[in-house]
Amino acid sequence: MEFRVLGTLELRLDGSPVPLTAPKQRALLAVLLIAAGRPVPARRLVDELWGGSPPRSVDSTLHSLVSRLRAKGVSAITREPGGYRLGLEKAAVDAHAFERLAGRARESARSGAPGEAARLCREALDLWRAAALVDVPDSPAVAAERARLDGLRLAVWEEYADALAEAGRPAEVAACLRGVLAEHPLRESLWTRMIVALDRSGRPDEALAAYDRARRALAEELGLDPGPELRRVHQRILRRGEEPPAGTASRVRDAESHAGAARQAGGAEAARRVGGAGMAGQAGSAWAAGQVGGRERPAGVEAPRQLPPAPGCFTGRAATFHELTALTEPGRPGVAVISGMPGVGKSALALHWAHRMAGRFPDGQLFADLRGHRPREAVTPREALDRFVRALGMPAEQVPAGQDELAAAYRTLLAGRRVLVVLDDAAGPAQVEPLLPAGEGCLVLVTSRGRLSGLALRHATRAVDLDVLSEPEAVALLTEVIGPRCRAEPGAVAELARQCGRLPLALRIAAAHLAGTAHRRISVYLDDLAERGRLASLRLRDAFGDMGVDASAAAVQATFDLSYRALGEAERTAFRRLGLVPGGGFTADALAALLAVPPAEARARLDVLLAASLVQARPGRAMAERYHLHDLLLDYARHRAEAEDAAPAREQAVGRLLSWYATIGDPLALHDDLDNVLAATRDAAEAGAEAAWRLPAALARTLALADCPARAAELHALAVTAAGRAGRRREAAGAHNDLGEAYERLGRYPEALAEHGAALELHRRLGDRRGTGAALRSVGTVHWLLGRYDDALAHLYEARDVMEATGDEGALGQTYNLIGIVLRTLGRMDEAVSWYERALAVHRPAGDRNGEANALNNLGVIHAERGRHAVALGLYRRALALRRATGSRRGEARALNNIGLMEIHLGRRDRALVHLRRALAVHRETGDRRGEGQVAHDLGGLYHLLGREEEALAHYAEALRVRSEIGDRRGLAETHRDLGKLHADRGDEVAARHHGGAAGQIFTELGVTA
């Protein structure tokens, strides 16, 4: 019996993993493991597992959890007076192996063997698969142990760096610390080692840039200056004096004391950040270009880590593992195609191997689920290439439109790097070939039902044919899931493996069925399986193509049928409803909508389906846990729904699901479900259903907040077409407007103008005066963005006339503000002030405090441009108070930004830094990436003014990155323009011309002036 805690919590019996799907089981086992053989009082276990809200029958519930763990094979749990104890040897836990290896490494370092110390440190670090106990729910004991282990891991990383440095391998020190610093950017001892290593590697400029990043991170997040050791190393490089003394690598351990000082000065939160993870995104965004795999990585771009978690219950395949591992050696083929029938475990093998080998690909791992055998959802090579080049650091404005150009850019980005590319579920060579890198260094791992023989005609490939498991492997898989009772019926277990065709998917489902029915003999299940197999209609045979695997198809059908029939009626209904999900994964809330039950009830049914291995958990971007079905199970669920549920019942369930999608207000949750929303909208459009325009309209605001304008445009374009075909002119007008706004966010202003113009024409035909006024305002806004100020004013004045006639006060105040903005752009300041004051006169009586804040802000801009900075500052502060009163966090950040800019003009630059940093923090908290890009730009300007050029460069680089990613082309042009000015001041004429030219090109494409 072995336990793994350095990553997900795993239990292994006889070398094979035992699935622990229930969170409470994992939590209980973790607490018992942390106690390290000591008894744990039952009351403490209750507190750890349930906090202040234990269930009513908590004692029996706790006993049941213990019994279930024992049934899984954790027989060493014993009942002690008042509690429970897990008896185990220290060697049974990987954390003890890690600490033992780390101790041996320290002994080697002390005895003057740095090479051996480095090897042992590396071996210890390789035991880690992710953060400690990453899938265990938080509790006091788990949080404390996780922090302890993560602290030890950090210490070993530092000792590894020291050993490499003492062994005369400074370049390896810099390489190994990059990823650690991305997770721990406030740990001074790491920065000290990194800077020394860069300097010793003959890269002093990079060392100085690293110091600037460290100083900025400490100042912005903790309000601290670098400690003495970090400052000494910095000064030594500046003086270009002697080489750092040989003992530096050892002495940098003293820098830990400065981290302790930071904890005292910065409080508990600072201590957490210095000693913990966090801040990875911010650290990455500020990094200057670094050497990666022999090639420059773009500033602010971290190596992609796209591999999804590997599924559990994996066994066997040792020979295939070795075959794949051999491909990582020089001179071997750069493409491996894992082929085999559905359910044979191709994806599981690829992901398990990829996670284990990730360290051999330091420049990153790319992953794409090509969905090749779901034709309506298949990912095109162009879509995959677009995602990959962005992940590799290409700015959005530079991403080519054509597939051939994208493929060329992709290969250029990968040249000289070691990147692992995993392409899951490929349909054929045409879907894969454009995604293959050129040259050596990268490895592509493809999974497909076919062998993709055509690929081998043009590329060096290794075909890896995955067959069903051997009989011992199949028996081992059954045993690890079902548990110890397999020993009592070895013959039945072997026969079950044969009856399931030794196919992993069928084996897992059969095993999960038996694991959930501990009273049932395996031989009885075999009888049922044989009968079901004889009666199966082999409806899944089509999924297996012409592979000649009738027996496997029958096994899959039979195991599906038996597991499905073993469910209660409520769970069977839930399973059938999941067959109606239009796209990818789903949440418990989505299932609740399909079933018309409370979410808690849906989660309870999902727990049953999870235990039966009929669904799998999969993480998403939002907090809610997501689930998915294997392709074959999805097909089976759809078949069962069509066979057992009347069409009206299915239609009503889908209608409830679409209504639920329409209520999604969390941008991250919408990101997770966007594939489903798009698929549902396409289905509705094909059927001519109202959902094709109602769903995009309902989600328009959340889509705008989600910063995914390209996909929003795709969705609204479907709505435009569907509403137009149905003759729904009012709905079509709204869809044209939403599509126009998406194009605005993409910086595609001519197309935005066309869509708003179409909306205006439809509203006029309908005689919809309010809609006409809103469309006129939108057309005027885009004309202003295009620099066509006379046209902008003409449309805005007409919008004003319409809104005054209809009494649309809220819209009227916004229009007055926009007229003022255009007039200010034209330099007609007095007129602009008049319109802003009119806006105030509308918003104040109506109690519209956000509208009032907008008008005050715009008045502040006028006063600022006239040099009345103190007056402007007062207006911005009033706007800030209104934003905070209304809870408008995004508005608050914008007000803070404006206040910071005024403090610059008033000569109070320290105050300006405080306000701009606060604004940046709020924008990040709220996910307002457009605002984040603007404040990063303004901070670049402030640092330029302060003469802190490296920090200015870093913030401008961050602004470029953010604005590129969200498609803010006008903002991008402004940052290129000001970055060009900074380079000119630095005397770098080449860079100045580059950025100035990039700015001019974008402004020209937009049809606006700088």
Is a pLDDT exceeding 70 seen at residue 376?
A: no
Average pLDDT of the chain is 82
Angle between helices 729-746 and 709-725 (to 10 degrees): 160
Q: What is the CATH number of the domain that holds 417?
A: 3.40.50.300
Identify the helix (H) or strand (E) that includes residue 281.
helix 280-286
- State the pLDDT confidence band at 584, using cuts at 50, 70 and 90: low
Number of domains into which the chain is organized: 5
Q: Does residue 401 share a domain with residue 353?
A: yes
Angle between helices 42-50 and 23-34 (to 10 degrees): 130
Residue 558 lies in a domain: yes
CA distances from 592 to 287, 627, 636 (A): 44, 13, 20
Return the structure tokens found at 989. Answer: 């004429």
Q: Does residue 545 share a domain with residue 410?
A: no
pLDDT of the residue at 624: 58
Is a pLDDT exceeding 80 seen at residue 631?
A: no
Q: Does residue 460 share a domain with residue 371?
A: yes
- State the pLDDT confidence band at 558, using cuts at 50, 70 and 90: low
Q: What is the CATH number of the domain that holds 250?
A: 1.25.40.10
- State the pLDDT confidence band at 774, using cuts at 50, 70 and 90: very high
Find the radius of gyration of the CA atoms of the chain.
Answer: 31
Residue 192 lies in a domain: yes
- Give residue 660's identity as a one-letter amino acid code: W
Is a pLDDT exceeding 60 seen at residue 979?
A: yes
pLDDT of the residue at 496: 87
Q: Does residue 280 share a domain with residue 196?
A: yes
Domain's final residue, options 25, 56, 90: 90
Lowest-pLDDT choice from 308-317, 431-440, 502-511: 308-317
The residue written with tokens 């390896």 in the block is: 172
Domain's final residue, options 625, 645, 665: 645
- For the segment 949-959, the average pLDDT, to the nearest whole number, is 89
Give which of 51, 16, 48 is closest to 34, Cα–Cα: 48
- State the pLDDT confidence band at 550, using cuts at 50, 70 and 90: very low
pLDDT of the residue at 517: 75
Sign (positive/negative) of CA torsion 495, 497, 500, 501?
Answer: negative
Sign (positive/negative) of CA torsion 724, 727, 733, 735?
Answer: negative
Return the structure tokens found at 706. Answer: 């989600």
pLDDT of the residue at 921: 84
Per-residue model confidence as pLDDT tens digits over 443-456? 999 998 777 877 87
Is a pLDDT exceeding 90 seen at residue 124?
A: yes
- For the segment 921-946, the average pLDDT, to the nearest whole number, is 85
Q: What is the DSSP letter of 298?
A: P
Q: Does residue 588 share a domain with residue 561?
A: no
Q: Does residue 405 share a domain with residue 372?
A: yes
Residue 26 lies in a domain: yes
pLDDT of the residue at 898: 93
Lowest-pLDDT choice from 604-618, 778-792, 839-853, 887-901: 604-618
Determine the structural domain holding residue 57 and report its residue range. Answer: 9-90
Return the structure tokens found at 105. Answer: 């490494």
Percentage above 90 pLDDT, the chain: 29
CA distances from 436 to 292, 352, 430 (A): 20, 21, 11
Distance CA 269, CA 273 (A): 6
- For the segment 399-419, the average pLDDT, to the nearest whole number, is 85
Is a pLDDT exceeding 70 seen at residue 35?
A: yes
Domain's final residue, options 534, 566, 598: 566
Backbone dihedral angles phi then psi of residue 127, each to the nearest 5 degrees: -70, -20
Give which of 194, 554, 483, 537 is closest to 341, Cα–Cα: 554
Return the structure tokens found at 983. Answer: 């380079």
Distance CA 816, CA 131 (A): 54
- For the segment 968-996, the average pLDDT, to the nearest whole number, is 88
pLDDT of the residue at 951: 87
Let me know: does 735 contact 693? Beta carbons within 8 Å. Answer: yes
To the question of pTM greater than 0.75 for the whole model, the response is no
Q: What is the CATH number of the domain that holds 57?
A: 1.10.10.10
Is a pLDDT exceeding 60 seen at residue 23?
A: yes
Residue 592 lies in a domain: yes
- State the pLDDT confidence band at 253, using cuts at 50, 70 and 90: very low
Per-residue model confidence as pLDDT tens digits over 321-345? 888 888 887 777 889 999 877 778 8
Residue 996 lies in a domain: no
Let me know: does 276 contact 399? Beta carbons within 8 Å. Answer: no
Q: Does residue 397 share a domain with residue 425?
A: yes
Is a pLDDT exceeding 60 seen at residue 283?
A: no
- State the pLDDT confidence band at 526, using cuts at 50, 70 and 90: confident
The residue written with tokens 């209609």 in the block is: 537
Is a pLDDT exceeding 70 seen at residue 536?
A: no
CA distances from 508 to 288, 407, 615 (A): 48, 39, 12
Residue 345 lies in a domain: yes
Distance CA 828, CA 711 (A): 39
Whole-angstrom distance between the N-terminal and C-terminal Cα of the chain?
69
Q: Does residue 581 share a domain with residue 554?
A: no
| pLDDT top residue among 807 and 267 | 807
Is a pLDDT exceeding 70 seen at residue 396?
A: no
- Give residue 378's identity as a one-letter amino acid code: A
Let me know: does 249 contact 196? Beta carbons within 8 Å. Answer: yes
The residue written with tokens 């306000």 in the block is: 915
pLDDT of the residue at 619: 61
Residue 139 lies in a domain: no
Give me the long-range contacts of 630-636 (CB less than 8 A, separation at least 24): 630/343, 630/505, 631/342, 631/373, 631/374, 631/425, 631/543, 632/342, 632/343, 632/505, 632/540, 632/543, 632/556, 632/560, 633/560, 634/578, 634/579, 635/540, 635/543, 636/540, 636/560, 636/564, 636/579
Q: What is the DSSP letter of 645?
A: S
Is a pLDDT exceeding 50 seen at residue 934?
A: yes
- State the pLDDT confidence band at 531, using cuts at 50, 70 and 90: low
Q: Does residue 270 share a domain with residue 349?
A: no
Is a pLDDT exceeding 80 seen at residue 295?
A: no
The most confident of 132-146, 176-190, 250-264, 804-818, by mean pLDDT: 804-818
Is a pLDDT exceeding 50 seen at residue 281?
A: no
- For the segment 649-656, the average pLDDT, to the nearest whole number, is 93
Name, in order, each residue with C-beta under 8 angstroms of 522's C-beta and a sequence gap of 6 or more.
482, 485, 486, 489, 492, 493, 496, 514
Is a pLDDT exceeding 90 seen at residue 105?
A: yes
pLDDT of the residue at 770: 93
Q: Does residue 597 share a domain with residue 510?
A: no
Give me the long-range contacts of 486-493 (CB less than 8 A, separation at least 24): 486/522, 489/521, 489/522, 489/523, 492/521, 492/522, 492/523, 492/526, 493/522
Q: Does residue 432 share a domain with residue 388?
A: yes
Rounding to the nearest 10 degrees, give the CA dihedral for residues 678, 683, 685, 688.
Answer: -150
Return the structure tokens found at 39. Answer: 């008894």
Percentage above 70 pLDDT, the chain: 87
Residue 410 lies in a domain: yes
Is a pLDDT exceeding 80 seen at residue 21?
A: no
Q: Does residue 416 share a domain with residue 332?
A: yes
